[in-house]
A and B are shown apart, each in its own frame.
Chain A
Amino acid sequence: MPCPPLRILAVEPAFPGRLGALASALASRRGCSVTHLHHRRESHAGAAEVGLTPVGFPVGGIAREPAVPWTRQLERGFCYAYGAFETLRDQPIRPMDLILGHSSGLGSTLFLATLYPSVPILQLIDPYLDPRHHDLADEDAPIMPPEYALWRRSANAMSLLDIESGVVPWSTSAWVRDTYPSEYHASIRVLPEGVDLRLGGKDVSLASEVGGRTIGAHTKLVTFAARSADRLRGIDHFLRLAHRLLAERSDVVCAIVGDPLVNRGIDVRDLGTSPLDRWVMDLGLDAHERLWRLGRLDSAELPSLLARSDLVVLPGRMAEPTRVLGQAMALGRVVLGWDIPPLREWIEADTRGLLVAMGDLDAMTVAALGVLDDPAAYAPLGTSAAEWIRAHCERGKCLDTLLATLPLPNLLRSS
């Protein structure tokens, strides 16, 4: 008798958000029936929505306002959680076997257990914000008003309420787990969401052009890619590196992929602005023909660009790595990043990539030039990286592991 498809509800503020790709994989690879409930649709939904049924939810109250005082951040989250609750209360989606949640600093599943009391909720958690450390806080806290640290302390309330509401807390990174107070570590499951090898395997073609520009056969392509080309992902570091590499070698092209508009709530300095142009101008790179600002690429273009890259640089600050890292490693690219715990979970230095001391731009430059000077010598790093991804992070295996951890009926688990 065929297994019934697993019925899944993914809930988060934006679509496709963090869960879209995973939910889409569950739909396309496991035959699951997946509804993605969200408030806002991001402009780049693209392939991540394949196989999903998107359903929007409205928000009311303070969540309708473009900006709210930091003291009312949790209230805004309640509005999101209530919007999801209200939509499902009025238009029930039943039956349901599993709920995936992600609050993204707002709210998602907080009230759903009242509607689905027996359905397990797997909640993807965000890093616990230290008042003065991690992500952008090391640099911003000393120069921001005192309320900055208070806001960061209080912004953890939604994560704590989520976890205490009976969900299965899940992180894709041990580093994220370890940002939480120690009392929470044992309950947080750390499991990778997996890398889609269809976007990172042998079938991916090498890009010969991107964004209307031709990539020459002898061009050395150094790539920065992230959802947003912002400080969290280290675009400022990358620009300084690019400045040096472009001066050092005439065959280098530095490509920047990512939305120049900063839309991360934790980036309070640059939120809602596009500082990339200013930084490029400050370095005198605004007219440089070998610095390519490509904006966002669609989900087919990015793998081709990564596959063609001689070096993929991840100069981000202390944060959960971008998915680009897994993709680049799966494609056998040489990756170069800061030697920080979140990257060490993926990159064993000098075996699966290159790590240099955080903030040491000289060391990063030397490492990058080494790869560009002698690609063959560094190719084994890419090969090892690809093997490691296949062995540990193949999405299908990760999905199986993830589902196996949940209290689902066996019949459904194997669907």
Chain B
Amino acid sequence: MHVLFVHQAFPAQFGQLAVELARTRGWRCSVLVESMSHCPPPSPEMLERVEIHRWSSPRNDSTPLPWPHHFGAYLEQCQAVLQSLRSRPDLRPDLVVAHGGRGAPSAFIGEALDCPVIVYCEYYFAQAHADLTFRLDLPPGDPEVESLFPRCINAPTLLALTSAKTGYAPTHWQKQSFPERFQSRIEVAFDGVDTSLYRPRRVTRPYTIAGRTINGDTRLVSFAARGLESVRGYDLFLKLAARLVQERSDLLFVVAGADDVHYGWDSLRIPGRSFADWAREQSRIEETGLPIVHLGHVDPAVLADVLSLSDLHVYLSVPFVTSWSLFDAMACGAAVLAADITPVRELIEPGIHGIVTPLFDLEAQVAASLKILDDPAGHAALGTAARERITSSYSLDVCVPRLASFFERTAAGV
């Protein structure tokens, strides 16, 4: 079996999966990508086991495009992928697995290859009052863009879906974001957490990170997101941190993630500077001397250490693509405080696998956080159950066989 994965970046969703399929099944796994990611970067094993082919971006500059140009740029990318496939007659897989979103140009693959195409259904954006438009509490950016762009943003996804044989979404929540008409064609199959990496690691204290020492009596509160942006609730985390530090003097807040914006309107709301910077100013963290460490993008092993050390992991995302960081934190056995939103409820049964509070209820978040921080040992069962939830339902060991079976059935035309 030869599977070709198509994505804008590597490894993203497919790198680890490709390694596992190559390692455990002996499949030939190729990827066709535009660039190598740095969050996370490819592991040496990925570089060794996976054939990596590149397609060249038709755009030379990285200046952000106005949103009405996005679809045209997407089509040019689709054309670049097509040209790349046509120039490689040796690349004739039995199956293509392609990301179906705006950044992953898969709509024309069928013009070059006659094998089945599975589209990765990461998310279908809502037209209003959800995901990108959920944060009504923030300063308005450009109301017209916020109301009109969501009506256009799904064009690549629709084109990819209608061009593919079938699709899969990593969670039920993400599947349900898609129009009902497509849902019978979308399977739910999670990517898989590497539970040998993300596990309760025996990290001894004192532990030094970014020049800060974590002693045995330090309570560590963590937050992780690829970009420190509003959809992931970075500002809400800072508000919570600012309150918690008034109650306890032994706290250290550790943030993994960069001051990037990947989704939404933060650059319109806060022109000329990063949302993260704005959020830090709003929470006056410098003036108050908030004990916080920003790690930027970190190596997965470092993140696993931080999550394992965490007495509390905070996840305050809006209802959107469920973050890998939540899965990873649970896999590391961290006690999680999460926003009470549908995607979280799919993973966390409140009081069993973590604690949930309303996204905007700071008082409830403070109370729940303090309860955990006051008695980490008493709440260890949350982390244990979370770890068990991940290993039993979301680990690579569980997910890869499911995906492999799905791929085999699709390739066989079943």
Contact residues of A between 110 and 127, Cβ < 8 Å to B: 110-111, 113-114
Among A157-165, A269-277, A342-350, A366-374, the stretch that binds chain B is A157-165
Contact check, B162 vs A181: say whether CB atoms are below 8 A apart.
yes
Contact check, B147 vs A153: say whether CB atoms are below 8 A apart.
no
Q: How far is the CA of A400 from the CA of B76 in the complex (A)?
A: 45
Report if A78-B152 is in contact (Cβ < 8 Å); known contacts: A150-B108, A150-B111, A153-B107.
Answer: yes
- B409 cross-chain contacts in A, Cβ below 8 A: none
Tell me if B72 is interfacial: C-beta within 8 Å of chain A. Answer: yes
Q: How far is the CA of A186 from the CA of B162 in the complex (A)?
A: 16
Contact check, B152 vs A187: say whether CB atoms are below 8 A apart.
no
Q: Output the residue of B72, B108, B148 with the most chain A CB within 10 A.
A: B72
Tell me if A203 is interfacial: C-beta within 8 Å of chain B. Answer: no
- A219 cross-chain contacts in B, Cβ below 8 A: none
Q: How far is the CA of A87 from the CA of B79 in the complex (A)?
A: 35
Q: C-beta contact mask, B63-80 vs A, less than 8 Å → 1, else 0?
A: 000001101100110110
Q: Which residue of B lies closest to A107 (CB)?
A: B152
- Residue from B82, B148, B163 within 8 A of A85 (CB atoms): B148
Distance in Å: Cβ of B55 to nearest Cβ of chain A: 15
Contact check, A160 vs B158: say whether CB atoms are below 8 A apart.
yes
Tell me if A282 is interfacial: C-beta within 8 Å of chain B. Answer: no
- A70 cross-chain contacts in B, Cβ below 8 A: 75
Contact check, A156 vs B154: say whether CB atoms are below 8 A apart.
no
Contact check, B79 vs A111: say whether CB atoms are below 8 A apart.
no
Tell me if B202 is interfacial: C-beta within 8 Å of chain A. Answer: no
Contact check, A75 vs B159: say whether CB atoms are below 8 A apart.
no
Q: How far is the CA of A72 from the CA of B58 in the complex (A)?
A: 14
Contact check, A150 vs B75: say whether CB atoms are below 8 A apart.
yes
Contact residues of B between 161 and 178, Cβ < 8 Å to A: 162-163
Q: Which residue of B lies closest to A61 (CB)?
A: B68
Q: How far is the CA of A193 from the CA of B163 in the complex (A)?
A: 31
Contact check, B75 vs A111: say whether CB atoms are below 8 A apart.
no
Q: How far is the CA of A150 from the CA of B69 in the complex (A)?
A: 17
Q: How far is the CA of A150 from the CA of B109 in the complex (A)?
A: 10
Q: Which residue of B lies closest to A158 (CB)?
A: B155
Q: Which residue of A lies closest to B111 (CB)?
A: A149
Tell me if B127 is interfacial: C-beta within 8 Å of chain A. Answer: yes
Tell me if A71 is interfacial: C-beta within 8 Å of chain B. Answer: yes
- A57 cross-chain contacts in B, Cβ below 8 A: none
Contact check, A160 vs B127: say whether CB atoms are below 8 A apart.
no
Contact check, B68 vs A154: say whether CB atoms are below 8 A apart.
no
Among B179-187, B323-331, B353-361, the stretch that binds chain A is B179-187
Q: Which residue of B lies closest to A112 (CB)?
A: B151
Q: Which residue of B lies closest to A78 (CB)?
A: B68
Contact residues of B between 83 and 117, Cβ < 8 Å to A: 107-108, 111
Contact check, A161 vs B151: say whether CB atoms are below 8 A apart.
yes
Q: C-beta contact mask, B124-164 vs A, less than 8 Å → 1, else 0?
A: 00010000000000000000000110011011001100110
Distance in Å: Cβ of B149 to nearest Cβ of chain A: 10
Q: How far is the CA of A110 from the CA of B154 in the complex (A)?
A: 13
Q: Which residue of B lies closest to A68 (CB)?
A: B72
- Residue from A72, A153, A164 within 8 A of B163 (CB atoms): A153
- B185 cross-chain contacts in A, Cβ below 8 A: 183
Q: C-beta contact mask, A355-371 vs B, less than 8 Å → 1, else 0?
A: 00000000000000000
Report if A75-B181 is in contact (Cβ < 8 Å); known contacts: A150-B82, A161-B151.
Answer: no
Contact check, B148 vs A74: say whether CB atoms are below 8 A apart.
no
Distance in Å: Cβ of B81 to nearest Cβ of chain A: 11
Q: Which residue of A lies closest to B156 (CB)?
A: A157
Contact check, A75 vs B71: say whether CB atoms are below 8 A apart.
yes
Distance in Å: Cβ of B124 to nearest Cβ of chain A: 9
Tell me if A224 is interfacial: C-beta within 8 Å of chain B. Answer: no
Q: How far is the CA of A289 from the CA of B163 in the complex (A)?
A: 51
Report if A71-B79 is in contact (Cβ < 8 Å); known contacts: A154-B159, A157-B159.
Answer: yes
Q: How far is the CA of A75 from the CA of B152 in the complex (A)?
A: 10
- Residue from A74, A79, A111, A147 within 8 A of B72 (CB atoms): A74
Distance in Å: Cβ of B186 to nearest Cβ of chain A: 11
Tell me if A216 is interfacial: C-beta within 8 Å of chain B. Answer: no
Offer 30 A-B interface pairs, CB within 8 angstroms, sorted by A: A69-B72, A72-B69, A72-B72, A75-B68, A75-B71, A85-B148, A110-B152, A111-B147, A111-B148, A113-B127, A114-B147, A146-B111, A150-B82, A150-B111, A153-B107, A153-B111, A153-B159, A154-B78, A154-B159, A156-B159, A157-B71, A157-B158, A160-B155, A160-B158, A161-B158, A164-B179, A183-B185, A184-B181, A186-B181, A187-B181
List B residues at the A interface (Cβ < 8 Å): 68-69, 71-72, 75-76, 78-79, 82, 107-108, 111, 127, 147-148, 151-152, 154-155, 158-159, 162-163, 179, 181-182, 185
The 8 closest A-B pairs by CB, nearest first: A183-B181, A71-B75, A160-B158, A72-B72, A157-B155, A71-B72, A74-B71, A114-B147
Apart from the given pairs A71-B76, A113-B127, 9 other A-B contacts in the complex at a CB distance below 8 Å: A72-B69, A74-B71, A75-B71, A78-B68, A82-B148, A150-B108, A157-B159, A164-B158, A165-B151
